[in-house]
Chains A and B, each alone.
Chain A
Amino acid sequence: MSELFVALTPPNLLACFAGVVLGTIVGVLPGLGPAGAMALVLPVIVKLGPTAGLIMLAGIYYGSMYGGSTTSILVNVPGEAASVVTTIDGYRLARKGRAGAALAIAAIASFVAGTFSVVALQLAAPLVARTALAFGPAEYFAFALLGVVLLANLTGGSRPKSLAMVVLGIMLSTVGMDPLGGTVRFTFEVAGAQAGLSFIAVTAGLFGVAEVLATMAAPASTAPVAHVRFRELYPSREELRRSVPPMLRGTVLGFLVGLIPGPAATIASFVSYGVEKKVSKYRDELGTGAIEGVAGPEAANNAAAGGGMIPLLSLGLPFTPSTAVLLSGMLLMSVTPGPFLLRDHPQVFWGVIGSFYVGNVMLLLLNLPLVGLFARVATIPQRSLMPGVLVLCAVAAYSDNNNPFDVWVMVGAGVLGYAMRGLGYDPAPLVLGLVLGPLLERSLLQALTIARGELSGLWSSPPAAVMLVAALVVFVAPALSALARRAAPG
């Protein structure tokens, strides 16, 4: 636990500061989301060493949740998906002249939720990691499979499309050496492909290059920004009083939703808004500029970001693109997340958790006085920013293995990602399939070998059986409920 203070050393404080500032800017700018931005800075963080590097990556991740609310409130343009809900009441509050109050409540709610989720993460992650020490290949296979099925249900849109993208990602993960026997597969004699498809190149392509191509097809106009002075950033006593219950509800809800695979921060903010619509004393005002519509969702999306770290740190399983990039960063620096992370790298584990506390304080101090500056970032024309993103993508892809083949992979993934957007496919499940593929393959084959080829070995232990049954229930539930609706009279 004393390793928590590792976060307070000057290099780590600097890395945390750089991460949260970059994250806030990424959150403010529509387009390049946290996963893409995190992939782009991987060449930099490798040079910082494991603790400082991961602190910076994590800072970008949760910093983006803070920044997203700024443009939602001032410009009616959400910086990233998790802040879409905040536009509903946040922008209306700004039009009523309460932009400063809305921004202050968003920052305070983010701080409260962020801090709560770190405390919960600090308590829960070691417990989950200890439990996971008893997990064998069958349990890991069942858990990853459950995650994949849940993900397909929660990403929105069509389930066959989401599942197809997960499987396509898994198929891409089989390019290169097979994880058990070392057989080289699907490389078609291309020497550069023997190490497999670089995850960073694929992420930079799908989220970075594809975003640039999409912006070229439909350039976004920059909206005028409401000017907010520092002295206006004081919510009234009434606004503060009304914000507390939705903030607390959003915090708990968000943290729980964060544990579930999928776009947790986005879902958490929508769930929180839905709950406020049902239970708030001021539910009739929601949609017309109610402070509850800012406090609840902003707390929820920040708490979800903390919740999503538990499966990553304690099990080594990322269930969002951002945590997948974080996993990739850890592996680049020879740090393997999972049950042994706490034993093998206590400084990294507690250092990253400690940096969450520091980062949340930094974000609160930064976001309130500098809110006007961050809002102005949103007005920088995309035609001046996006061409540079292409070069950063190429650097990130190339520097992963110093391999020109990875630049080809990035270009291919970018064009594929652009086509996928046009055809209504979400790239996030593909990225997660690519990350979870080797784990699924290794755990499935190991479980079969241990069970001497008996398929029942996959569900012979109670935890594996429970998770496989849960996966089956989640898979068939939508079809059954549709059948029940059709069979219902009337």
Chain B
Amino acid sequence: MTPPSAARRDQWTAVGLGVIALGYLLAGRRYPLDTLATPGPGIFPLAAGLALLALAVWQFLTAHRRAAAPADTSAAEAAHAPLIMSVVLVLYAAGLPVVGFLLASFALVFIAARLMGLEGWWRPAALALGVAVASRVVFVTWLGVPLP
């Protein structure tokens, strides 16, 4: 028997998938279906959205019957570091075109190294500088990748 928390988790993710499917179907209404002989750009998204909706219902109905792995509580306890890192990544994506690759990547690696437990300030700073400069030399100078 599935542990209640895992079953509930699966049911909630099924609800989430159902919401995604409905949102996708609603957004896809603006594309014409036309006919099967001359199919329009809306027909395939309609089929895909309905398929995901059906799969979400299937998962919801079977969640309580299927044996699944219990929820990983140890991962949940350590979830603050990935959460902070996710926010940092969003800031990185936003800041990359503004401050440029070198500075943004230095900050990214520095914070990631600190969050992963690299102690002190000098070691993460040295790692960040090394990674940012080496990446710039390899990709921009040698390979000609036009990084911002």
> Which of A's residues lie within 8 Å of B, judged by CB?
43-44, 47, 157-158, 160-161, 163-164, 167-168, 170-171, 174, 178, 180-181, 183, 185-186, 188, 209, 212-219, 382-384, 386-388, 390-392, 394-395, 398-399, 402, 404, 407-408, 410-411, 414-415, 418, 422-425, 437, 440-441, 444-445, 448-449, 452-455
Contacts of B128 in A (CB 8 A): 387
Among A180, A217, A390, A408, contact of B81 (Cβ-Cβ < 8 Å): A217
- The answer to whether A448 and B39 touch (CB under 8 A), given A47-B144, A183-B31, is yes
Report the separation of the CA atoms of residues A391 and B147 in the bound assembly, to the nearest whole angstrom: 12
Q: Are B41 and A185 in contact (CB under 8 A)?
A: yes
User: In the complex the two chains form, is B117's CB within 8 Å of A219's CB?
Assistant: yes
Q: Is B37 in contact with A181, judged by CB distance below 8 angstroms?
A: no
**The one of A164, A399, A424 that contacts B52, using a Cβ cutoff of 8 Å:** A164
B36 near A455: Cβ-Cβ < 8 Å: yes
Closest CB pairs A-B (n = 9): A453-B37, A453-B36, A387-B112, A383-B116, A183-B41, A160-B59, A213-B82, A178-B41, A216-B81
Residues of B contacting A423 with CB < 8 Å? 9-10, 13
Q: A383-B117, A411-B90, A445-B44 are in contact. Are A164 and B17 (CB under 8 A)?
A: yes
Q: Which residues of B contact A441 (CB under 8 A)?
A: 44
Q: Can you name 25 A-B pairs with beta carbons within 8 Å?
A: A167-B51, A171-B45, A212-B85, A216-B81, A216-B115, A388-B127, A391-B105, A391-B109, A394-B105, A398-B96, A398-B148, A399-B147, A402-B146, A407-B93, A411-B86, A411-B93, A415-B86, A415-B89, A422-B72, A422-B75, A424-B6, A440-B44, A444-B44, A445-B39, A445-B44
A168 & B52 in contact (Cβ 8 Å cutoff): yes
CB closest chain-A residue, reference B38: A449
Chain B hits for A43, CB < 8 A: 139, 143, 145
Please, which residues of chain A bring their CB within 8 A of the CB of B58?
160
Inter-chain CA distance A185–B75, complex, in Å, is 37
**Distance from B43 Cβ to chain A, minimum over Cβ atoms (Å):** 7
Q: By the criterion of a CB under 8 Å from any partner CB, how many residues of chain B are at the interface?
A: 69
Interface of B is mostly: helix
How many angstroms between the C-alpha atoms of A437 and B52 in the bound complex?
Answer: 14
A471 shortest CB reach to chain B, Å: 14
Q: Are A213 and B118 in contact (CB under 8 A)?
A: no
What are the residues of chain A within 8 A of B115 when measuring CB–CB?
216
Chain A binding surface, main DSSP class: helix
For the complex, what is the distance from the CA of A375 to the CA of B131, rounded to whole Å? 23
Judge whether A217 and B78 touch: CB under 8 Å: yes
A178-B41, A415-B89 given; name 5 further pairs at CB < 8 Å. Answer: A185-B41, A216-B115, A217-B78, A399-B139, A411-B90
- Selected contact of B75 from candidates A217, A410, A415, CB within 8 Å: A217
Which of chain A's residues have a CB closer than 8 A to the CB of B40? 181
| Interface 1/0 per residue, B84-111 and A, CB below 8 Å | 0110011011001100000001001100
Distance in angstroms between the alpha carbons of A212 and B37 in the assembled complex = 48
Residue numbers in A under 8 Å from B145 (CB-CB): 43, 395, 398-399
Cα A453 to Cα B112 in complex, Å, equals 54
With a cutoff of 8 Å between Cβ atoms, the chain B residues found around residue A216 in the complex are: 78, 81-82, 85, 112, 115-116
- Nearest to B113 among chain A residues (CB) is A387
Shortest distance from the beta carbon of B81 to any chain A beta carbon, whole Å: 4
Cross-chain contact B62 with A449 (CB below 8 angstroms): no
- CB contacts (< 8 Å) of B59 on chain A: these are 158, 160-161, 164
**Given A168-B20, A171-B45, A448-B36, does the pair A218, B74 have CB atoms closer than 8 Å?**
yes
Asked whether, in the complex, the Cβ of B86 is within 8 Å of the Cβ of A213, the reply is yes
1/0 per residue, CB under 8 A from A, across B46-83: the answer is: 00110110011011001000101100101110110110
**By the criterion CB–CB under 8 Å, are B89 and A414 in contact?**
yes
Residues of A within 8 A of B75 (CB): 214, 217-218, 422
Contact (A395, B56) CB under 8 Å given A386-B112, A415-B89, A424-B10:
no
* Bound complex: CA A174 to CA B49 (Å): 11
**By the criterion CB–CB under 8 Å, are A218 and B78 in contact?**
yes
User: Given that A167-B48, A174-B48, A449-B39 are known contacts, is A395 also in contact with B139, CB under 8 Å in the complex?
Assistant: yes
